[in-house]
Structure 1
Amino acid sequence: MVKFMAKSFFVCLVLLIGVIIGIQQANEGLKKMRGYEATETLGALQIHEKENGELEASILGNKLTSQDIKKKQEQLERIESFNFFSELGKWLSNCVQTFMSTMIHLLSEQIEQWLNKDKT
């Protein structure tokens, strides 16, 4: 049994080292394929502070300002689209809630009647 466990541990260790080396090789291959070291594309979100203290963000290389965010928020508020599945889910949850509360109420009444019947 000890021999089996030692072999299993050794195999797992070799596979783990292989995965780590493979990840490193894939990273190096992506850097070579790109052809240059681009710091702005290494992360999805970059935040820089300007000289005047204002923050500037870029998501996947696209500049993003607070005015853009406000504009998009206003646009989303104007759309007010109807989501069929959301409304269906709300209706279904209300039906289940009403059904369960009714069943609990009826069950509690039956238990009270049963307990009162035993007392008399």
Structure 2
Amino acid sequence: MVKFMLKCFVLCSVLLFGVLIGMQQANQGMLKMKGYNDPELQGAFQVESEQTGDVEASILGNKVTSQDLQQKQEQLEQIEAFNFFSQVGKQFASIVSNGISTLVESFAEWINRFLR
């Protein structure tokens, strides 16, 4: 299960970066087709380093900073999301576990009575 999730995560990451690279290539193609540099036409993914050593990144025109990421992480930690499928899975697992343990106990009692 862990291998499957890891493979899915890697595949989705590769596809996401492929889409971003494709958007950047399309932007460069549009610039070449226009023949001049339009300041309103921005790239899909831009990374700029400042003289102070800080690095700014923007994805699709939205600035991404580490502070934004920390705020989002804190917000996600505060939200206690209810996952319906997780709860159903837990209940199903407990029902199956109780059923199997009951069957094993009854089978063991039957064998004990048979051997006496």
Calculate the TM-score normalised by the size of structure 1: 0.49
Pair member with larger Rg: 1
Task: For CA contacts below 8 A with separation 6 or more, give which structure has more relative contact order.
Answer: 2
